């Protein structure tokens, strides 16, 4: 049986990852913690290493919305435009005319909170949609990573509720939280989620923590890693709940243990059990996850977890609907950040795990090999 630490050591030695921090837990506590390699020059990776977690932020944003649903302040099928009227101004991109100008039309359906949370709202990132880069170039529209409020106005790529499409929906969900609750989303998140869960190293700005921040590496054509600069926008006009957070492996594992514990952690309740059930169930109403085909292979491979197996999306996570042999069970919840920070939570097995580095391309084969070997080692050592 391979020890989880052996997997991490081997991955760094083989240049499959520049460094790695990985942990596992059950509802009661941590069951494994390990690391390998240097997170920055001369600093070994460890539990204190700070990561740009990008889309691991999304589950935190979705939890914020579910807290409001749990309190009766928001409905899962409430139309977005009823809360933020600007949503109803968004139109569907129907191609481009002979001069290369976007052709837009009114949406045939109204987007809802459910659509934002399940990535069925019509919004898609430019990295996984061939039309979005053309739209951005033709219009000069700011991207979500500018931190500008105007960046929220991406066009819809399809009518809400008609298919999966991965994009800035959770950024809009953060705006819904602000509109319903009244607090800035960063204040709401800190007071309602991060502080109660003891996630003291999870922040919107890494002020005072930059000495713990890992170096980001990108793999070149020669197969070797070199450092680069890339991260969430500092001091933005708004904090996007799709990408804004920094965190550590132990902090995020506390979040996942709350998921395993039906909405509570160490005596602190964040969600009622009924609301947590709603948050973990398939919420796609018959739709399913679709392969995210990359249009920027230097940044990401195409995303197709466990090819050939059906996946859906809960209110906050991708769900695998079949058992993965030697790994997670059906109904497990997972996702990741674009710089290869990944997590899963398996309620049926009472197992959660994180495996985190800071590298591009996203979901490249060497990283996925390491992830699979780590997860298999965690389950084998249960």
Catalytic residue positions? 55, 58, 166
- State the CB neighbour count (10 A cutoff) for residue 308: 6
Instruction: Give the contacts of 307 (CB within 8 A, at least 6 positions apart).
Output: none
Task: Tell me if 84 sits within 8 A of 175, measured CB to CB.
Answer: yes
Query: What is the distance of C-alpha 95 from the center of its chain?
Result: 29
Identify the CA nearest to 377 among candidates 358, 361, 348, 355.
Answer: 355
Q: Is 127 helix (H, G, I), strand (E, B) or coil?
A: helix
Q: Give me the residues paired with residue 336 across strands.
A: 342
How does DSSP assign 323-359, residue by residue? --TTSPPTTEEEEEETTTEEEEEETTTTEEEEEE--E
**Parallel, antiparallel or unpaired: strands 359-360 and 216-219:** parallel
The residues pairing with 218 across neighbouring beta strands, listed in sequence order, are 226, 360
Q: How far apart are CA 306 and CA 321, in angstroms?
A: 11
Neighbours of 277 (CB within 10 A): 13
Place of tokens 């997590």: 343
The phi, psi pair for 171, rounded to 5°, reads: -60, -45
Whole-Å CA distances, 223 to 217, 364, 366: 12, 12, 11
Both structure tokens of 283:
């919420």
Residue that the structure tokens 């054509």 belong to: 221
């Amino acid at each position: 049986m391979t020890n989880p630490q052996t997997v991490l050591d081997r991955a760094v030695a083989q240049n499959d990852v520049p460094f790695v921090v990985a942990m596992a837990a059950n509802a009661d506590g941590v069951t494994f913690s390990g690391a390998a390699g240097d997170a920055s020059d001369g600093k070994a990776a460890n539990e204190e290493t700070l990561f740009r977690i990008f889309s691991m932020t999304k589950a935190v944003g979705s939890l914020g919305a579910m807290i409001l649903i749990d309190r009766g302040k928001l409905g899962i099928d409430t139309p977005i435009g009823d809360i933020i009227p600007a949503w109803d101004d968004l139109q569907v991109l129907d191609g481009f005319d002979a001069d290369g100008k976007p052709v837009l039309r009114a949406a045939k359906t109204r987007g809802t909170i459910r659509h934002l949370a399940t990535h069925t709202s019509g919004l898609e990132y430019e990295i996984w949609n061939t039309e979005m880069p053309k739209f951005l170039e033709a219009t000069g529209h700011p991207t979500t990573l500018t931190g500008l409020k105007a960046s929220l106005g991406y066009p819809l790529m399809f009518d809400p509720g008609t298919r999966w499409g991965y994009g800035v929906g959770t950024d809009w969900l953060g705006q819904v939280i602000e509109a319903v609750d009244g607090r800035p989303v960063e204040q709401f998140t800190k007071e309602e989620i991060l502080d109660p869960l003891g996630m003291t190293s999870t922040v919107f700005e890494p002020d005072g923590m930059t000495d713990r921040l890992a170096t980001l590496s990108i793999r070149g054509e020669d197969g070797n890693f070199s450092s680069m600069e890339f991260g969430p926008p500092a001091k933005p006009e708004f904090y996007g709940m799709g990408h804004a957070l920094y965190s550590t492996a132990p902090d995020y594992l506390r979040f996942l243990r709350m998921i395993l514990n039906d909405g509570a952690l160490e005596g602190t309740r964040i969600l009622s059990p009924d609301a947590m059930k709603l948050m973990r169930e398939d919420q796609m109403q018959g739709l399913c996850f679709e392969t995210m085909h990359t249009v920027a292979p230097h940044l990401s491979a195409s995303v197709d977890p466990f090819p050939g197996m059906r996946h859906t999306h809960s209110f906050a996570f991708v769900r695998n609907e079949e058992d993965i042999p030697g790994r997670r069970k059906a109904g497990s919840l997972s996702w990741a950040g674009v710089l290869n920070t990944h997590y899963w939570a398996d309620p049926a097995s009472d197992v959660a795990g994180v495996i985190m580095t800071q590298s591009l391309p996203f979901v490249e084969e060497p990283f996925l090999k390491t992830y699979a070997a780590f997860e298999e080692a965690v389950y084998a050592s249960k």
